[in-house]
Structure 1
């Protein structure tokens, strides 16, 4: 039996180490971890998505992305025939953005964020994982591997200026009801994880390990 290839894309500035507790049945699935690359000069999100897509070596893979990685895998799906696209702690269109992101886009306030300050580990952890992180910074140091100012400026702009206004109804969305980066009140049509925060890939891994196999293999609603 051929195993089903599942490619995981981490969140903004994060490394694939965030998936270290994710375990899928090895007789059914083959896990592949993607990492962020430093963007090229003036590279669009579409061009970047195409470049990362070249790292996928299997036909009809499952793409799973967390946060900004969820946005990226949706863009990648334009260029390959994915069996399924699953996003975690992310958004399906810019209509699901909280008001502060919409204001940042309208005012271009994101251009005023001093990325050099965000490179401080605690600030980067809050920026990437949300305000409600605990302060186990040694833990986050392991997960936040991309500390390049050019990447951060590019990534923040590409999130805020994401132009998708119509959600793909084939995308499977898993979201925590305590997510403070993308609050649940703005999110439609998702599988809700009770108590899940923006870092639930780290602290709700047992729920994900229990439910992801069925979510990948079928479209039935998953019990909370």
Structure 2
């Protein structure tokens, strides 16, 4: 029996190291890790998603994305056939954004964010993983791979200006009830992980290891 290919996409500025505790049965699944590339000048999210699909070497893969990676894998699924799309700590449409992000889009306030300051590791950790990131910044340093100003400006704008307003009900959404980046009160419907924060890929990995296989396999 051929294995099921499962591709993982990390969150904003994060490296594939965030998946180091995710263990899927190697007899059933083939795990592949994707990583962020530096965007081309003025590259749209859709074009970027198409470019990242070129890294996929299997037909009909499962795509799993965290946070901004969850948005990206949904865009990738517009370009290729997928077996399943699963998002973690993310959103299925811009209607699920918290109010501050909707205001940011309307006022274009995101353009005023001093990106150079965010490249400081502590700020980048808070930006990528949420305000509740604890002080173990050295720990997070290994999870934040992309420290490129152009990438960061592009990524923030791509999230805030994401134009998907209709939820794809086929997308499986796993979300923590303590997420401070995408608060659960704005989320339409999802599989709720109790006590899960925006970084639950790191600290709720046992729940994910137990539940991801059945979510992937169920018809």
Structure 1 length as normaliser, TM-score? 0.97
SS at match of 1:143: coil
Give, in angstroms, the shift of residue 138 of structure 1: 1.1
SS at match of 2:22: coil
Give, in angstroms, the shift of residue 76 of structure 1: 0.1
SS at match of 1:192: strand
Q: Residue 218 of structure 1 corresponds to which residue in structure 2?
A: 218
Give, in angstroms, the shift of residue 129 of structure 1: 0.3
Give, in angstroms, the shift of residue 46 of structure 1: 0.5
Give, in angstroms, the shift of residue 188 of structure 1: 1.3
CA distance in structure 2 between the partners assigned to 1:28 and 1:180 by the alignment: 34
Please give the per-residue CA displacement for 1:68-122, whole angstroms capped at 9, x wherever unaligned.
0000000000010000000000000000000000000000000000000000100
Which range is displaced more, 55-64 or 210-219? 210-219
Runs of 4+ with deviation above 6 angstroms: none
Q: Residue 179 of structure 1 corresponds to which residue in structure 2?
A: 179
Is residue 2 from structure 1 mapped to residue 26 from structure 2 by the alignment?
Answer: no
SS at match of 2:117: helix
Give, in angstroms, the shift of residue 189 of structure 1: 1.6
Q: Residue 107 of structure 1 corresponds to which residue in structure 2?
A: 107
CA RMSD of aligned residues (A): 0.5
Structure 2: segments with no counterpart, 5+ residues: none
Q: Residue 59 of structure 1 corresponds to which residue in structure 2?
A: 59
Q: Residue 94 of structure 2 corresponds to which residue in structure 1?
A: 94
Q: Residue 133 of structure 1 corresponds to which residue in structure 2?
A: 133
SS at match of 2:106: helix
CA distance in structure 1 between the partners assigned to 2:218 and 2:102 by the alignment: 34
Q: Residue 83 of structure 1 corresponds to which residue in structure 2?
A: 83
Q: Residue 148 of structure 1 corresponds to which residue in structure 2?
A: 148
CA distance in structure 1 between the partners assigned to 2:140 and 2:168 by the alignment: 32
Count of aligned pairs: 219
CA distance in structure 2 between the partners assigned to 1:75 and 1:38 by the alignment: 17
CA distance in structure 2 between the partners assigned to 1:14 and 1:54 by the alignment: 20
Give, in angstroms, the shift of residue 149 of structure 1: 0.4
CA distance in structure 2 between the partners assigned to 1:94 and 1:48 by the alignment: 19
Structure 1: segments with no counterpart, 5+ residues: 220-224
Q: Residue 170 of structure 1 corresponds to which residue in structure 2?
A: 170
